Amino acid sequence: MTFTAFVAQGLKAERFALLDIGCSGGLDPKWRAFGDRLKALGIDASASECQRLTSEEKNPDVSYVAAFVSPSADAPIDLSAGPAAPLIMKMRDRMSFMRTREIRDAKLRTASTEEQLRHNAWELTGLADPSKPVVVPELLAARGWTDLDYMKIDTDGIDWQILQSFEGRLPANLLAVQMEVNFVGDGTPDEHSFHNTDRFMRRHGFDLFRLDVRNYSSRALPARYIWPTPAETHSGRPFQGEAYYALDLLGPNGPALLSPLSAEKVAKLAAILSGWDVPDAAAELLLGCRDRLTAVIDVDRGLDLLAAQAQGDRARPLDYRRYMARFESDPPDFYRPEGPIPLRERLAAAWRAYLRPRDRR
């Protein structure tokens, strides 16, 4: 059993409320572990993809909205004007994956929607009406979504503008935000770059718990792609990535952040941290909020599950108590051996990467 499924079993009064802005490809499967406690809203500019997702959805509390997203309902999307983030798009055109897109362009235009989305060519699919964009905070209010646990933003261009539309309007008690970030920019305060995203999130009480960096080679000297589709490469400059922000309930502002949260909210935050593959942060939360969490989960059982997650593919993982005792003995297996990396270790790392790949877009 995963830790997320374990927490889901303890939820009685609340659901796990998820907002996915840029939902092509579907919700991240890890959150399906919440089962019938999952409530989700997906938004995407590809109407054909939203139609497909709706037809395949089995959870009545998960719905999809085909719409472009804009900071203002009075600002229709002008598709002829080009991307909304000119600098990042100019940088993107210099990359090798865009050259591959150009090479494959003719085939992609007649390919299936699934194939177009695999190549991140969402603009070639049947699109929503650009004259009727939605403002996400207003859409949430209209649907009565006053309480949100998790928000993910990945729209290939206007992620920063969408985030800014939540200025002063972030849902109460929002626990975590995942969004695409860019590692290029001109330093201006309105550029969609990591430093601006980071300042916004920290100003609103969130801390960075994970950061994935994706490298992209230039078309001047293409490197091998990591995935079967053209995207990030084995070498190249750090171009884009995925940032994972959450409330730090044990940090300096922890007491003020923790006060309005229910025990189930705290348990869901621990599940999010585990889902991000940072089980150490989840374990720290369980220990720091043990008294509050006992009403929802068996904390010791939860710690055992997190310890097993930390041990990766070990056939017979130690429980939490024995795992910590082993760490305290300072054993050699907590370190990489000196010298060349053993073949077995390299194969194990490759297998783990295959089983738990990063976002392929």
Q: Supply the pLDDT for residue 109.
A: 76
For 208-257, how does the pLDDT look when each residue is reduced to its tens digit (9 = 90+)? 999 999 999 999 999 999 988 888 999 999 999 999 999 999 999 999 99
Write out the DSSP string of 126-145.
Answer: PBP-TTS-B-HHHHHHHTT-
Q: Supply the pLDDT for residue 156.
A: 76
Largest CA distance in the chain: 64
- CB environment 3-21: b (16+ within 10 A), e (fewer): bbebbbebbeebbbbbbbb
Per the CB < 8 A criterion, the answer to whether 165 and 139 are in contact is no
* One pLDDT digit (tens) per residue for the chain, 361 residues: 999 999 999 999 999 999 999 998 899 999 999 999 999 999 998 999 999 999 999 999 999 999 999 887 776 666 554 444 456 777 888 999 999 988 888 777 776 767 766 666 656 567 888 888 899 999 999 999 989 999 999 987 788 889 999 998 888 889 999 999 999 888 888 888 999 999 999 999 999 999 999 999 999 999 999 988 888 999 999 999 999 999 999 999 999 999 999 999 999 999 999 999 999 999 999 999 999 999 999 999 999 999 999 998 788 999 999 999 999 999 998 988 877 776 666 676 666 666 555 544 4
Residue closest to 14 by CA, chosen among 209, 253, 295:
295
Structure tokens at 201: 């999130």
Residue closest to 242 by CA, chosen among 136, 158, 356, 152:
152
* Cα 112 to the center of its chain, rounded Å: 26
For 83-110, how does the pLDDT look when each residue is reduced to its tens digit (9 = 90+)? 444 567 778 889 999 999 888 887 777 7
Q: Supply the pLDDT for residue 187.
A: 83
Per the CB < 8 A criterion, the answer to whether 189 and 196 are in contact is yes
Write out the DSSP string of 204-258.
Answer: TTEEEEEEEEEEE-BTTS---BSSSSSS-BSSSEEEEEEEEEEE-TTSTTHHHHH
Rg of the chain on CA atoms, in Å: 21
* Cα 203 to the center of its chain, rounded Å: 20
Per the CB < 8 A criterion, the answer to whether 278 and 210 are in contact is yes
pTM of the predicted model as reported, rounded to 2 decimal places:
0.89
Every domain of the chain and the residues it spans: 3-247
> Phi, psi at residue 131, to the nearest 5°?
-85, -5
Per the CB < 8 A criterion, the answer to whether 173 and 40 are in contact is no
Residue closest to 88 by CA, chosen among 211, 204, 190:
190
- CB within 8 Å of 41: residues ≥ 6 apart: 18, 19, 20, 62, 63, 64, 65, 140, 143, 145
Cα atoms in the 13 Å half-sphere on the side-chain side of 152: 20
Q: Which CATH fold topology does 3-247 show? A: Rossmann fold (3.40.50)
- CB within 8 Å of 26: residues ≥ 6 apart: 42, 53
